[in-house]
Amino acid sequence: MPETLAGPPTPPVPMTELLAREELGLRLIAGPAAADLLWVHTSEMADPYPYLLGGELLLSAGVLLTDPDRYVARLVEAGAAALGFGVRPVHDTVPPELVAACERYGMPLIEVPPGTPFTAIARAVWGLMAAARHRELRRVTRAQQALATAAARPDPVPAVLHQLAVQLAGRAVLLTAGGEELHAAGRDPDPEAAGALGRLARVVARRRPGSPASATDALGDTHLSAYPLGGSDGLVLALATRRREAGDHTVAGIAVVLLSLLAAPHQGAAGADRSAALVRMLLGAAPDEVAPLLGEGPWTVVHARRGDGTQVDPLTAGALGAALGSALVDAGRGADAVRVLLPGGREAAPQPGWTLGASAPGPVTALADAETRAARALGHAEATRAPLSVDTPVTGLAALLPPGPAAEHARALLAPLTEPLAETLRCWLSLHGSWDRTAAALSVHRNTVRQRIGRCGVLLGVDLDDMDVRTELWLALRQG
pLDDT tens profile 118-147:
999 999 999 998 888 888 888 888 888 888
- The CATH number of the domain holding residue 401 is 1.10.10.2840
Give the count of domains, the chain. Answer: 5
The residue from 263, 283, 313 where one domain ends is: 263
Q: 3-state SS of 124-183?
A: HHHHHHHHHHHHHHHHHHHHHHHHHHHHCCCCHHHHHHHHHHHHHCEEEEEECCCCCEEE
Whether 101 and 22 map to the same domain: the answer is yes
Report pLDDT digits (tens) over 288-346: 666 666 665 688 889 998 887 777 777 777 778 877 877 778 876 555 788 888 876 67
Chain segment 212-257, per-residue pLDDT in tens: 567 888 887 788 888 888 655 678 888 888 877 778 888 888 888 8
**What integer is the mean pLDDT of 52-70?**
94
Residues 381 and 415 in one domain: no
Last residue of a domain, one of 274, 294, 314: 294
User: Do 302 and 375 reside in the same domain of the chain?
Assistant: yes
Q: Which of residues 23 and 279 earns the better pLDDT score?
A: 23
| CB 227 within 8 Å of CB 287 | no
pLDDT band at 164 (very low <50, low <70, confident <90, very high): very high
Q: Give the pLDDT confidence score for residue 63 in this predicted structure.
A: 94
pLDDT of residue 290: 65
Closest to 270 measured CA to CA, from 316, 326, 320: 326
Residue 335, in any domain of the structure: yes
The answer to whether residue 222 is domain-embedded is yes
Rounded to an integer, what distance in angstroms lies between the CA atom of residue 112 and that of residue 354? 65
Question: Are 302 and 289 part of one and the same domain?
Answer: no
Look at residue 137 and tell me if it is in a domain.
no
Q: Taking the CB of residue 368, how many other CB atoms lie within 10 A of it?
A: 9
Q: Is residue 134 part of a domain?
A: no
- Burial of 47-61, coded b for 16+ CB within 10 Å and e otherwise, reads ebbeebbbbbbbbbb
Torsion sign across C-alpha atoms 294, 296, 298, 302: negative
Listed ranges 1-15, 58-72, 327-341; the one with the highest mean pLDDT: 58-72
Strand, coil or helix: what is 453? helix
Q: Domain ends where: 370, 392, 414?
A: 392
One domain, residues 21 and 121: yes
Closest alpha carbon to 407 in 423, 394, 420: 394
Share of the chain above pLDDT 90, in %: 24
Quick one: 365 and 461 in the same domain? no
Same domain, 449 and 461: yes
112 or 473, which is more confident?
112
Same domain, 259 and 271: no
Cβ–Cβ < 8 Å for 263, 160:
no
- Region 47-61: mean pLDDT is 93
Judge whether residue 401 has pLDDT over 60: no
pLDDT single digits (tens) 300-312: 889 998 887 777 7
The domain of 163 spans 152-263
DSSP letter at 375 equals: H
Residue 143 lies in a domain: no
In terms of domains, do 183 and 240 share one? yes
pLDDT at 17: 93
Local structure of 376: helix, strand or coil: helix
Whether residue 290 is found in the same domain as residue 316: no
77/33 same-domain check:
yes
Average pLDDT over residues 58-64: 95
Q: What single-letter DSSP state applies at residue 51?
A: G
Residue 441 counted as domain residue: yes
Mean pLDDT, the chain, whole residue set: 81
**pLDDT (tens digit per residue) in 430-462:** 888 888 888 888 888 988 888 988 888 888 888
Is the pTM of the predicted complex or chain greater than 0.75? Answer: no
Task: Check whether residue 276 and residue 253 sit in a common domain.
Answer: no
Q: Which residue has the higher pLDDT, 390 or 309?
A: 390
**Residue 116, in any domain of the structure:** yes
| CATH assignment of the domain containing 118 | 3.40.1390.20
Average pLDDT, stretch 88-96?
A: 92
Give the DSSP H/E element, type plus range, for residue 97: helix 96-105
Is the model's pLDDT at 269 over the cut of 50?
no
Asked, for residue 460, whether it belongs to a domain, the answer is yes
